[in-house]
Amino acid sequence: MKLAVLGAGAWGTALAIRFADHGRVTLWSRDAAQAATMAEARANTAYLPDCPFPAALTVTADLAAAIGDVDTILIVTPLAGLRPTLKALTALGSRAPVLWACKGLEADTMKFPHQIADEELDPAIARGMLSGPSFAQEVAAGKPAAVTIAASDADFARRTVEALNTSVLRLYASDDLVGVEIGAAVKNVLAIAAGVCDGLALGLNARAALLTRGLVEMARFGAALGAKPETFMGLAGIGDLMLTATGDLSRNRRVGLMLAQGLQLDDILKNLGHVAEGVPTAREVARQAEALGVDMPITRSVCKLLFDDVPVTEIISELMERAPRMEGDA
C-alpha cells in the first residue's frame, strides 16, 4: 500500500516508520524547515531522534506531492488541525480514502472527528479512525502494540487492517466508529484525573476506583451517543485508558501530575512542550454530557481543576462525599 501520513509529530512519525515496513510511505510536514531537517537526518530529530527512517519512508512539505498517487491518507495532527487538513485535501481534488488518528471533540462545536469529516469530505470517500493503546516511542522502536481501525463501513475497516497490519503493530477492525472516537476522547480526560491521583500519592486503591468509575462514565456517555458497549471493553476503551492513565509517557497523565503540584495550567502546557488533547477535550465532553443529560462527575471535576482553579482537596471531597448508590447506577 502507498500511504501518506500527514503530520510529522511524534505519533505521525512513529506510524510512518512502522507502516514503511511493508509499503511506500510519504510523511508530510507543514513546516518546510522541519521536513528538510528530517530528510537530511533520516530521522525526526525533534521527537524521535533514536528511530531512523526506513528506506521506504520519504519526507516532504509539499502536500500535493505527498498525496499524489497514494492508496490511503492518514491524518495525524492535533484535532484542531483535522478540519483545515480535510479542506486542503478537498481543494486538491483528492479522492483517496482517509483515516485519522486525531482524538477529542472540536472546540466550540463539540463535534467528533467523523462529524468533521462528514462536513468536509465527499460522502463517497471512505473514511475511518486509527486508535488504541500505543505510545509513539514504543511503536517507532518496533515494540509490540495493537490498535483498532474503525469505520462505519466494516468492509473498508477490514480491508485497511489487512493492508496495513505489521508483525509488531497488530491491527483490529471495528465498525463502531462513534464508540472508538468516544474512547479516544474520554480516556485523555480520565488520564488527567489519574495523574492528579498519583501526584497526590492517594494510593493504588484510589487509582483503581477512579479508573473503574471513569470507565463507567465513558460507557454511559457512549450509550447516549449510540456506541456499542463492547467497544469500551476493547483496545479503544479500557486498553487505551489503562495505558494513558498509568504510563509515564502519557502527556495527559503528566498534566495531572503537575496539577497535583499546584502548577497553573498555562505553565503546565508550556512545560509540556506537546499537545495534551485531554485539556480542550475535557470542556467539550462536559458540555456535551450536560446537553445529553449524562452524569460524568469525574469529567466535571477535571474541568474544575483545569479551568476554575478549584482546589484539589475540594474536588476530592466532592467525589468522595457523593450520596451512596447501587454500583450500576449513575
Q: Is residue 197 part of a domain?
A: yes
Structural domains in the chain (count): 2
Reported as half-sphere exposure (CB side, CA atoms, 13 A), residue 77 has a value of 19
In a domain, 330, yes or no: no
Q: List the beta bridge partners of residue 129.
A: 100, 150
CA 47, 53, 59, 65 torsion-angle sign: negative
Residues 135 and 97 in one domain: yes
- Which residue matches cell numbers 528511530? 51
Question: Is-catalytic flag, 187?
Answer: yes
Considering the domain architecture, whether residues 189 and 136 belong to the same structural domain is answered as no
Cβ–Cβ contacts within 10 Å for residue 96, how many?
Answer: 17
Q: Pick the catalytic residue: 103, 187, 270, 304? A: 187
User: pLDDT digit of tens for each residue in the chain (330 aa)?
Assistant: 899 999 999 999 999 999 998 899 999 999 999 999 999 999 999 999 999 999 999 999 999 999 999 999 999 999 999 999 999 999 999 999 999 999 999 988 999 999 999 999 999 999 999 999 999 999 999 999 999 999 999 999 999 999 999 999 999 999 999 999 999 999 999 999 999 999 999 999 999 999 999 999 999 999 999 999 999 999 999 999 999 999 999 999 999 999 999 999 999 998 887 778 999 999 999 999 999 999 999 999 999 999 998 888 888 877 776 666 667 665
Domain final residue pick, 122, 148, 175: 175
Position 266 in a domain: yes
Grid cell digits, residue 130: 486509527
Query: Which DSSP string corresponds to 18-45?
Result: HHTTSSEEEEE-S-HHHHHHHHHHTSBT
Give strand ranges (E) for 195-315. Answer: none
The angle formed by the CA atoms of residues 284, 288 and 291, to the nearest 5 degrees, is 145
Q: For residue 157, which of 77, 97, 202 has the smallest C-alpha distance? A: 97
> 39 and 160: one domain?
yes
Residue 283's Cα: distance from chain center in Å?
A: 16
Cβ neighbour number for residue 88 with a 10 Å cutoff: 16
Could you say which DSSP state residue 161 is in? H
| Claim to verify: residue 171 and residue 47 sit in the same structural domain | yes
Segments forming the whole domain that contains residue 43: 2-175
Q: Other C-beta atoms within 10 Å of 311: how many? A: 11
| Global pTM value | 0.94
Pairing of strands 98-100, 127-131: parallel
CATH classification of the domain holding 8:
3.40.50.720
State the Cα–Cα distance between residues 305 and 259, nearest whole angstrom. 8
